[in-house]
Amino acid sequence: MRIIAAVPALAGLLLAAAPAAADVKIGYVDFQRALNEVEQGKAAKASLQKDFADKQKVLDKDKADLEKMQADFEKQASVLSDDAKRDKAVEIQRRMNEAQGRLVSFQKELSEREREATRVIFEKMDGLVREIADAEGFTFVFEKNNAGIIVAPPANDLTNELIRKYNARYKVGAHDGAEKKAEKKKEAARPAAAKPAGGK
C-alpha cells in the first residue's frame, strides 16, 4: 500500500519540476573539429608541418651520413690498426649520440609548439562559447567528445557558430605573429653549447 500511495506523490513532484526543466537549454560543441577548421588552427598546423619537414631533412642527412660512415668503416676495417678502428668506432658512436639527441630535441620542440598553439586557440574558443551560450540562452554547453555524446539534435550543435565567430574575431596574422616572436625568443635563449661539437 505504501508503494502504491507513493506513485501519485512522485508524479506530482515530476509535474511540479517540469516547467523548470523546460527552461533548460542544452548545447554542445566539437572543439577538435573547430580547431581543425578555424583559420588560425589551419595556419598553426601548416606551420608545424613545414617545421617538421625541415627537421626531417636534417634527420635524414644524419641517417645518410651515419650509414656512409659505417659502410666506410666496414670497408677499411681490414687495413686499419686496432687504435684506428677504436677511434673510428668512437667517432661513429659520438655522431650517433648527436643524431639521437637532435631527434629527441626536435620531437620535444614540435610537441611544445603544438601544445602551446592548441592551448591558445582553445582558450579563445572557451570565451566565445560562453558568449554564444549567453546570447542564445543555453544553460549548459558540453564538449562533444569529452561528454561522450552519441546522438544529439544538430540544432543544438554550436560548432559552426563557434568557427564563424572565431574566424571573424581572430585573424590569422595576429596568432602567427605572436608564435613567431615566441619562437625567436626561444632561439635567442638557446645556449651556444647546444650546437654540435666541431661545428658539424
136-190 pLDDT, tens digit per residue, is 999 999 999 888 888 999 999 999 999 999 999 998 875 455 555 555 555 565 5
- pLDDT bucket at 6, cuts 50 / 70 / 90: very low
Residue 102 domain-assigned (yes or no): yes
| Residue percentage of the chain with pLDDT more than 70 | 76
Read off the pLDDT of residues 39-79 as tens digits, 9 standing for 90 and up.
Answer: 999 999 999 999 999 999 999 999 999 999 999 988 888 88
Q: Is residue 14 in some structural domain?
A: no
| Residue 134 located in a structural domain | yes
By residue range, what is the domain housing residue 180? 24-199
Is residue 188 in some structural domain? yes
CB atoms within 10 A of CB 25: 13
**Residue 3 forms part of a structural domain:** no
Give DSSP secondary structure letters for 92-149.
Answer: HHHHHHHHHHHHHHHHHHHHHHHHHHHHHHHHHHHHHHHHHHHHHT-SEEEEHHHHT-
Give residue 124's identity as a one-letter amino acid code.
K
- Name the 3-class secondary structure at 195: coil
User: Which residue bears the cell 654540435?
Assistant: 196
Q: Supply the pTM of this predicted model.
A: 0.68
Question: What is the domain count for the chain?
Answer: 1
Residue 11 maps to a domain: no
Q: Sign (positive/negative) of CA torsion 173, 126, 118, 158? A: negative
In a domain, 166, yes or no: yes
Does residue 167 lie in a domain region? Answer: yes
